[in-house]
Amino acid sequence: MSDYDNRRWSHLKKILERSSPFCHPDFEPGTGILDFLQNACRILVVGAGGLGCELLKDLAMMGFGDVHVIDMDTIDLSNLNRQFLFRKKDVNSSKAEVAARFINKRVPTCRVTPHHCKIQDKSEDFYRQFHFIVCGLDSVVARRWINGMVVSLLSYDENQQLDNSTVIPLIDGGTEGFKGNVRVILPGITPCIDCTLDLFPPQVSCLF
């Protein structure tokens, strides 16, 4: 690693290469973690809207090198006040493609691959390739579909013991007014989205 790279990632290395009383008990600090994030870890961001733009920027700046983003929507003029990866010239273009192009240009250490389609258009093999999935969705229906997909990918042995290598962590985030929330779901281990539907506020449909 060059002197420039050492300086650039120095703050991140402080977190990844040494222990802390705030770390999870199972966390093992080491010099190979940053290399894994940059060269081996594959992450999927679902949604390239207000939360998705922030996620893509943060993941790129944190050193993740292989990021995919999936979104079926196109950019609307009303998106520009909060979805900062887009410009007026991008209106009517694919959110996923424009966001990926912006990050790839600004952060050369990160390769973002866009998928302009519905989440239902992708197969189990597509979702199985990721180390974890981050959701920036505003739909409970879409959250439940992604949740069902990662649960369906779980494998159990003949004694009904979970094969932990088939667990793809699902990080779900959302906003409600000026409040935000995030939680980590480990399929087959922790309560999933379908288990906790009562935690979501009532869905409101705008009629204007």
Q: What is the pLDDT of residues 162-207, one digit of tens each?
A: 999 999 999 998 876 677 888 999 999 999 999 888 877 666 655 4
Contact 80, 88 (CB under 8 A): yes
Gap between the Cα atoms of 108 and 97, Å rounded: 16
Q: What is the pTM of this model?
A: 0.90
Res 25: pLDDT: 87
Q: Is the dihedral of CA 182, 200, 124, 67 positive or negative?
A: negative
Going by pLDDT thresholds of 50, 70 and 90, the confidence category of residue 1 is low
Q: Which residues, other chains included, contact 134 with Cβ-Cβ below 8 Å and sequence gap of 6+? A: 43, 44, 45, 46, 55, 59, 171, 173
Task: Pick 6 or 106 by higher pLDDT.
Answer: 106
Mean predicted lDDT score pLDDT of the chain: 91
- For residues 136-161, average pLDDT: 94
Q: 19 is written with which tokens?
A: 């222990």
Q: Is the pLDDT of residue 109 over 50?
A: yes
pLDDT tens figures, 12-48? 888 899 998 888 888 899 989 999 999 999 999 999 9
Gap between the Cα atoms of 95 and 86, Å rounded: 8
Going by pLDDT thresholds of 50, 70 and 90, the confidence category of residue 208 is very low
